[in-house]
Structure 1
């Protein structure tokens, strides 16, 4: 599930399923029969491959993710699912890596060493690159600008190279986050910025790796426009050694200016006569990146044009070079090898049913997406480039982390019989009721609606692939185990910690809900406003 970042009645937020009060369905014998393919043995056979060290944490745009995509495609093909992308199973995403091919900083005629004295992030370089130079540098303290404290008082920074300290500084009652300070400098048309950050003095292996690997971007129109922009502010991050070399030419030092600002509460800005130049270039390299789609056509001549989507993201975060201990691979067994496994298990159950003459009336798209950990890239790409019209998409059921016990349930009696159900009532009262009925009829799990709370500080509703369907008005349910601390985005998220009976039971809840959605006479009505309130 992605790190980055509705409204129900209080009763529905805090209550759990009370089966005696919920109208149950007539159990479907065919659904039960074919659902037997969703079991712990089959789950292990998939997850032991996807979460193995050989897959290197399945990072988007890298070898492990390609291996996972190939594995899923081959499995879909073996089941007899159709490749819906012009006969293929891959929906290719326009992804590129932008790597620095030139990074030069010269102070007073001396060329400085990259990744020792300074670094440049690829994100601060447009595709046109840049070269900046000046015979002087404006030192502007912390780069703050407010009525209470203004490092730029009496300074004209237009066309000049400015040096600022990244962190610290006096409280001004204004949001002084670095991006805001850099935005101000861009608005003032500074030629470039030297940002003093003492972490340069001892760069971590992780940061070095991040810089050397370049910037990986999905080429949405917004990103393309930004990359081509000539207004990107050139930013060079320097350490205390270079900062003191520059400040020495102005008769001061880093400690001195900090102490002066702290003791007087006034800026210590000055222009320093020392020549400086910097240049950077980036090269674009297209990367292999794809969603993996398997299509099961419905059997009803009228209903088969409608599509139910079942999603899980197969990518994870790859390798962490500076992770503590010997294990550097983030296997992502729960996140989201478990949800991807759930999609594969459901694909098996539904294709078995169709081969036996019990195929679903509506069509089903089994879709494992990539780039979720980068910012929901794969599902975003699909929602903007849908293979099937979004108006014909009746719902998305998303499984993202369904294999472990979250912190709130550790040691509790119901730790092996719960799932967080998120978003079922946000757009459709039909879907919310159906979810409760299916659970009461088949799986009898504890449905926890905690993360439907609009005050949820984790903003879980917005942090997985279902959201890119919900934002287009498509009803969704997100199934999630609540693991946010133990091993989350760490090498410890391994298959040995997966509860396979629980994974299978949660996948069955999703499957039985999908069975009902794919076979009911009517699709779920969209009668809610996206926050759980009835539409006006």
Structure 2
């Protein structure tokens, strides 16, 4: 009987401690508010930030604003006295600098638009091969090496529109046959946009391969290319037959590589427990977005990115506010907490990739990454549903983390958790499409919080006015509660699961 009484007493003490811990978490979660979230998001997603494109002034302004807010809260700079971690980048751009057909000078945006290519070269060809629609039969026995090739890009009369990328596949086949220039006939884009491909800067850059330019040309240009045949483009299109036509085509193209620099934001709260402070919990969100539409685009040109990922960016700022309130009351996190604002996510997860290769804290000491990317809206599947959140990855590496995540929601926020995108067979492959992936591939357990793809995704209409701030706050509080447990529990999550996701995102 005495033993039972002692066990009961111990249980009562444990339950009391648990209840006290829960009450403390609830107290500080209340510092995550609609008012603060709206205040910060109105700045982060303002027109002044010009869409926060990596490497552009708007992203730099956003980074400085966020670092300033972390400093005001009292967080410490995590990178040798700086809130910024430089991310060295390279931008590779391809351009067709001049082009003439039968002596007539062409104008980009009017006569042709550039779809692809690489290398540095000036070409002068005297024949154009008309290949109709570029079907397998039409391409089977032709020789196009060193020649320009003209392709119909619209569907055949009476046929359904071809699958997206059909012309790209024809172009690839023609490049394999060593065509000098691939010309599709279709609508020329009057907007000239060539921001280039951005990558992490390498100490040993790869040589630039020579790939034939792929262009879209107007019907007028096609007529000029084909005039030696005695027929115009529309006549040949009506009864397409593969044929070679005499035509003079000159073009000069070039690939240039320039350096660029952007920054990740790194702000920290040191751990209070001497035994645990070397371990690090990361809250991450990318603050970059896709920038502005090219000059000449009618209407609003600024992609404000209020949801993607302004919502996650202010979410981790709000979580930092809650943790700092606790710290000032003597209840700071036992483990060190890092707030990581990633740049370059929209360019291919570049900022988080660089961080994972050059971490300010060892990846071996990083216990979990809680990553937020879009938490301010509802997707079409949940328009009339209760408050929800997609969770991805919580069970991929650690059963402990998954249990903590589930318990946090069941105890506090009670959101309808949707694991649709957690399925390895899901065609959207969301698991690979945000910054948590660069932690998971280093065997760091992760949870990714996401609201789904809505009608304003990557559009200029992703505005602050459309954000559901109470839902943003509730989702942020779920992340906070999960992080509170991770930052303060005795044991870090055990990595005990063989990840069932495909090995890479390709």
- TM norm structure 2: 0.86
- 1:304 is paired with a residue whose SS is coil
The CA deviation string for residues 399-434 of structure 1, in whole angstroms up to 9 with x for no partner, is 11112233223234x2xx322222211221111111
- 2:313 is paired with a residue whose SS is helix
CA 1:279 to 1:494, structure 2 compared with 1: closer, same or farther past 3 Å? Answer: same
Match of 2:213 among 231, 234, 242: 234
- 1:70 is paired with a residue whose SS is helix
Shift of residue 354 of structure 1? 2.7
Equivalent position of 2:419 in the other structure: 449
- 1:150 is paired with a residue whose SS is helix
Which protein, 1 or 2, shows the higher relative CO under an 8 Å CA cutoff with sep ≥ 6? 1
Unaligned runs of 5+ in 2: 1-16
| 284-293 vs 424-433, greater mean Cα deviation | 284-293
How many angstroms apart in 1 are the aligned matches of 2:404 and 2:100? 66
Tell me how large the CA RMSD over aligned residues is.
Answer: 2.9
Match of 1:141 among 124, 128, 132: 132
The CA deviation string for residues 274-312 of structure 1, in whole angstroms up to 9 with x for no partner, is 221110234444334221111222223332222211111
2:405 aligned with 1:435: yes
How many angstroms apart in 2 are the aligned matches of 1:362 and 1:53? 38
How many angstroms apart in 2 are the aligned matches of 1:464 and 1:161? 40
- 1:64 is paired with a residue whose SS is helix
How many angstroms apart in 2 are the aligned matches of 1:25 and 1:322? 58
Equivalent position of 1:523 in the other structure: 492
CA contact (8 A) 1:141 1:151 kept: no
2:316 aligned with 1:343: yes
Match of 2:430 among 460, 482, 507: 460
Which structure carries more strand by proportion? Answer: 2
2:213 aligned with 1:219: no
The CA deviation string for residues 354-386 of structure 1, in whole angstroms up to 9 with x for no partner, is 333322222211011122223322222222333
CA contact (8 A) 1:217 1:223 kept: no
CA contact (8 A) 1:400 1:479 kept: yes
Equivalent position of 2:121 in the other structure: 130
- Equivalence map 1:41-440=2 (5 Å): 41-98=35-92, 103-121=97-115, 123-126=116-119, 129-145=120-136, 149-153=137-141, 155-168=142-155, 177-190=166-179, 192-200=180-188, 203-204=189-190, 208-211=191-194, 214-219=195-200, 221=202, 224-225=205-206, 228-261=207-240, 268-320=241-293, 326-412=299-385, 414=386, 417-440=387-410
- 2:58 is paired with a residue whose SS is helix
- TM norm structure 1: 0.82
- 2:499 is paired with a residue whose SS is coil
CA 1:348 to 1:323, structure 2 compared with 1: closer, same or farther past 3 Å? Answer: farther
The CA deviation string for residues 193-236 of structure 1, in whole angstroms up to 9 with x for no partner, is 23123111xx34xxx2423xx314123559942xx323322333
How many angstroms apart in 1 are the aligned matches of 2:406 and 2:118? 51
Unaligned runs of 5+ in 1: 1-23, 262-267
How many angstroms apart in 2 are the aligned matches of 1:160 and 1:430? 61
CA contact (8 A) 2:151 2:185 kept: no
How many angstroms apart in 1 are the aligned matches of 2:149 and 2:112? 15
